[in-house]
Chain A
Amino acid sequence: MSAQFPDQTAALAVAPRRTGGTIRAVFAFVPLALVVAIAVLAPVIAPYDPVTSVAASRLPPSPEHWFGTDAVGMDILSRTIYGARIAVQFGVIVAVLSTIGGVLIGTFIGLSESSSGVLGLLGRGLNQISSYLLAIPDVILGIVVVGIMGSSDFALTVAITLCLVQAPVKLTRVEVLRVRRESYLESAKLAGESSFRAALVHVMPNSIGPAMRNMPLIFGNCVIILASLGFIGIGVKAPTPEWGYMISSGLSSLVLGRWWPAVFPAAAVLLSVLAIAYSSRAIPRMWPLLAVRVKRWNPIGRKARA
């Protein structure tokens, strides 16, 4: 798959300065960018329509159908490529939703939990609830939420977000607990700022770092959970080209020795989660490097912190 899009790397490589550090920083994004590129360009690169029968059923891989066709004659290559689109759609939506939600909830908990009164009670309660929800296995929570809300894309998004929102909540809470001890909050108070304004202007912007860096990880976990739920049969609806569902529907063929309907989507899951995992580990490592570079461009000369 990846052989078809070398351009993406080239586009990113036109980065700041061609030093070793920069190139390594750019390479951290390449795998993630590739997965996203396949998703975005799916209509251009997929040879056939992913949800209509285009040939005889169960054809083995051939020059016409590189990955063969499935039980109803749909082109597996096209379905696998479009599968990236589904995974990325869910991944992006869930990553954004759970990061925004997690930052808001985490900030609230961090600011309120040590205060007395109703707010403090609410903050401590939310923190406890978040800890308990963290104990629920992702797939189990997915099963229950989809079971109660009925199978739909919305239900899946809610289910996966509920699983993954807990990490940014905890990350932001810890960061808020650090930031709230900073003396610039006292200065803000003395300057007449209300605590709500201070939370919005000072606490939140200074606490979102860890949650932001966690975003690619959420993206990757979302892809895994979506595929797992699809695989056990409660994911997106039938003809939609979703990898987990494709694998499970290829199983009966697999038992009969026809390996291609299950193996190609499985390989797609494997490659994409590895790519995302690589990027989600490499990007935070590159963070300071990128920050330094941005500062170096800054025309204002820097002076070390006293």
Chain B
Amino acid sequence: MSDAEQFILTLDGVGKEYGRGRHRVTAVQPLDLRVDADVELGVIGESGSGKSTLARMMVGLETPSSGTIACNGRPLREWLSTRASRLEYRRRVQYVAQDTTSFDPRQTFYDAVSVPLRLLRGVRSEREIRSRLDAIADELSLDPALYSRQPHQVSGGQRQRFALARSLVVEPQLLICDEVVSALDVSVQGAVLNLIKRHVAEHHMGLIFVAHGLPAVTFISSNLMVMRQGEVVERGTVADVVTRPRHPYTQELLAAYASSSQKEGGRQ
């Protein structure tokens, strides 16, 4: 399994249900999806639409209750079954969540971000780690001096960028971002989005960008998938979906954004 091999992630009838009997809740209705190495997919939906569950299933944080996820023809279950192949999968696919507590409050950022370098990329020398961390910090406009701090000692935007750094140092083939900018101030949002977009383009990574805000998703990705109550209601290129929405929910969504941006414009 060399890195040169073409990377493909396929979802075949993947769905997720929680609970049993009367209390059963469907989080994601069975869906098919093919993710290529150069994907730029935005997933949009309100909270509870199953978009996060979908993203988490792709990295094995949740187990699908139906269907199979496969990477290069090999089921995810198998990838995660042995230590070596699990690390290999983590090298290929990385996931960044909305940061609230994604860092151990007792660790410094240096400790946290160097872990994937050591474990996934096998970098041993302290100098090599330092230089890679400095490089990624530079790319994400982070002050390398912040590496010596603990999570509560930096701002939310800085913490979110460290969370990105932790995944990006691995140099994955696919990056899955789950609501990474939702908790940030609007001013910081733009900066972080730009950083992600640039990095993904420069390193030829695939990107799946999950969010509930339309502007962020349309800015960063070329394809769009709209989810509602666990169901995919619309897919297509951003241009197609925005100009010719077919599903009433998508039309509603677009209309809401149009009116809110008008209001904002009016106020200014």
Contacts and interface: CB of A to CB of B under 8 A. Distances in A.
Asked if chains A and B are in direct contact (CB within 8 A), the reply is: yes
Contacts, number: 68
A302 interface: yes
Nearest to B172: A190
Contacts of A194: 83
B104 A302 contact: no
B116 A192 contact: yes
A165 to B, nearest CB: 25
A306 B188 CA distance: 13
Residues of A in contact with B, size category:
20 to 34
Contacts of B156: 306
A182 interface: yes
B203 interface: no
Given A191-B116, A205-B106, A302 B97 contact: no
Contact of B61 (A186, A193, A303): A186
A183 B97 contact: yes
A193 B115 contact: yes
A190 B94 contact: yes
Contact of A202 (B104, B119, B159): B104
Contacts of A182: 101
Given A186-B97, A187-B97, A306-B183, A206 B104 contact: yes
Given A206-B104, A306-B183, A188 B115 contact: yes
Contacts of B254: none
A1 B107 CA distance: 46
Nearest to A185: B104
A198 B154 CA distance: 24
Nearest to B184: A306
A300 B97 CA distance: 27
B90 interface: yes
Contacts of B94: 190
Contacts of B100: 183
Contacts of A305: 152
Q: Which 6 A-B pairs have the closest CB atoms?
A: A306-B156, A192-B119, A191-B116, A192-B120, A184-B104, A191-B115
Interface of B: 59, 61, 83, 86-87, 90, 94-95, 97, 100-107, 112, 115-116, 119-120, 148-149, 152-156, 159, 163, 166-167, 183
